[in-house]
Amino acid sequence: MPEAYPNLAAGQRLTAGLLRSMQPQVARKTADTALSATTTQTLDPHLQFTAEAGSVYVFDGWIAYDSDNAADIILAFQTPPGTKGKWVGFGTGTTVISGTSGNGTQQNQVSTWGYTLRVEYTDITTTRTFGGLNVGNPESIYLYGTCRFGPTGGTWGLTWAQAVSTAAATTVYTDSWLKAQRIA
């Protein structure tokens, strides 16, 4: 049976708060964030939400980033204790392999013939590393998953850092976004 939140009853009074709780929450980056010379994951200042204890959310998002091929980017989610769930990110693998006009492959080169794609899913709090091409050649990751919050609600959101510390900045760009819809 499909899940919906909230479960409305016949004759129930509709309030602004109730109607708002039915809407997806969207967190959009309003400024670029750059990190360099660090592998310490940081909660993104824009891509975060507040969840109620015992709630369930589905989410998706788009992360636009730029990273040196030596640094890559590592993502995960910070969640309150007791949170369960899974997520997947569709983005380039850690060694950026692209095609050539002669049906060959090449590493860490800008290409109009596409790149390899990382597609496995992971636990909601487990990290996943995606490739960087070269600073100045932005890439993106499409994310989606499910979060089931336990007895503790609170802040949850995207954490990220360089996978390998380098002086060249890894940047997550303005207009990256996450959208969360409460379903239970």
Which one is predicted more confidently, 44 or 134? 44
Report, in angstroms and rounded to the nearest whole number, the Rg of the chain calculated over CA atoms. 19
pLDDT confidence tier of residue 174, bands split at 50, 70 and 90: very high
Rounded distance between C-alpha atoms, residue 150 and residue 40, angstroms: 26
pLDDT of res. 133: 79
pLDDT of res. 107: 66
CATH numbers and ranges of domains, the chain: 25-182 (2.60.120)
pLDDT of res. 98: 63
pLDDT of res. 137: 81
What residues contact residue 179 under an 8 Å CB cut-off, 6+ apart? Answer: 24, 25, 26, 27, 59, 60, 61
**Whole-number percent of the chain with pLDDT over 90:** 62
Residue 118, pLDDT above cutoff 80: no
Rounded distance between C-alpha atoms, residue 32 and residue 112, angstroms: 26
Residue 181, pLDDT above cutoff 80: yes
Rounded distance between C-alpha atoms, residue 127 and residue 94, angstroms: 13
Give 125-135 pLDDT, tens digit per residue: 899 999 887 77
Residue 119, pLDDT above cutoff 80: no
Other C-beta atoms closer than 10 Å to the C-beta of 34 total: 11
Asked if omega into 45 is within 30° of 0 (cis), the reply is no
Task: For the chain, give the mean pLDDT.
Answer: 89
pLDDT of res. 54: 95
What residues contact residue 125 under an 8 Å CB cut-off, 6+ apart? Answer: 76, 77, 78, 79, 83
- In degrees and rounded to multiples of 5, residue 21 shows phi and psi of -65, -20
Which one is predicted more confidently, 111 or 59? 59
pLDDT of res. 150: 95
Residue 112, pLDDT above cutoff 70: no
The answer to whether 175 and 29 have CB atoms below 8 angstroms apart is yes
Residue 10, pLDDT above cutoff 60: yes
